[in-house]
């Protein structure tokens, strides 16, 4: 698949490129990434270069994982990353620490879901989200992006050492389920 650009009210989602290596290296030093993501730890510039020159382009070429850079404008600095894996159309995301708290990831995640479910990925009728239990910021993004929380038995997420941790799960359909927002009340307080 060829890389696709997605525009939102405030953002441009496009291809992460080798020139983003410094920003990716810096943002991936965040201790939250050690706790909640499977990005390498400790994270080096070589990891960022391999991500940008190999992992991202081959993910698009094989359609196994579609990864976007989140920017404010064409040629602007990378603010964060959002991706969708072929397996279960699972969404993943991170935002550089200094760019959080402005609703940008909610906006980016909603736009990616809309694109996937409008035919961007052939035959996709749901997008799947999961996070390590306790990752409230990620759950709030999922809630804002229209996901409905689901509670299957044995909900887990893999960690970087190959073990698993208890996880929160959600699904998003093209038409946002009317029960979606209320489904988060067990783990999140207040309305979105």
Q: Which residues bind ligand COA (CB under 6 A)?
A: 32-33, 36-37, 93-95, 100-106, 131, 135-138, 140-141, 144, 192
Q: Closer CB to ligand COA, residue 61 or residue 72?
A: 72
- Torsion angle of the four alpha carbons 13, 85, 118, 61, in this order, in degrees rounded to the nearest 10: 70
N-to-C CA span, the chain: 34
Q: Closer CB to ligand COA, residue 59 or residue 146?
A: 146
Q: Closer CB to ligand COA, residue 63 or residue 137?
A: 137
CB of 183 to ligand COA, least distance (A): 14
Q: Closer CB to ligand COA, residue 56 or residue 111?
A: 111
Report how far Cα 137 is from the mean position of its chain's Cα atoms.
12
CB of 119 to ligand COA, least distance (A): 25
CB of 92 to ligand COA, least distance (A): 6
DSSP string computed for 63-121: TSEEEEEEESSTTPPP-EEEEEETGGGEEEEEE-GGGTTSSHHHHHHHHHHHHIIIIIS
Q: Closer CB to ligand COA, residue 122 or residue 161?
A: 161
Angle between helices 104-115 and 136-144 (to 10 degrees): 50
CB of 60 to ligand COA, least distance (A): 21
CB of 152 to ligand COA, least distance (A): 17
CB of 4 to ligand COA, least distance (A): 21
Q: Closer CB to ligand COA, residue 102 or residue 160?
A: 102
What is the rounded distance in angstroms from the CA atom of residue 127 to the CA atom of residue 84? 8
Return the DSSP state at 161: T
H helical segments located in 9-66? 21-27, 31-36, 45-50, 56-62
């Amino acid at each position: 698949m060829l890389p696709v650009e997605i525009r939102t009210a405030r953002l441009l989602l496009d291809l992460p490129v080798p020139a983003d290596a410094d920003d990716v290296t810096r943002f991936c030093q965040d201790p939250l990434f050690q706790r909640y993501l499977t990005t390498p730890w400790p994270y080096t510039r070589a990891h960022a270069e391999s991500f940008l020159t190999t992992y991202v382009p081959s993910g698009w070429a094989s359609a196994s994982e579609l990864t976007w850079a989140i920017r404010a404008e064409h040629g602007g600095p990378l603010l964060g990353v959002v991706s969708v894996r072929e397996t279960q159309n699972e969404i993943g995301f991170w935002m550089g620490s200094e760019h959080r708290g402005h609703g940008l990831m909610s906006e980016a995640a909603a736009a990616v879901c809309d694109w996937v479910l409008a035919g961007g990925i052939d035959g996709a009728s749901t997008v799947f989200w999961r996070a390590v239990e306790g990752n409230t910021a990620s759950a709030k993004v999922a809630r804002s992006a229209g996901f409905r929380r689901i509670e299957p038995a044995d909900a887990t997420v893999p960690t970087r050492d190959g073990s698993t941790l208890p996880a929160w799960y959600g699904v998003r359909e093209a038409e946002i389920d009317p029960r979606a927002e209320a489904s988060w009340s067990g783990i999140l307080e207040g309305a979105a």
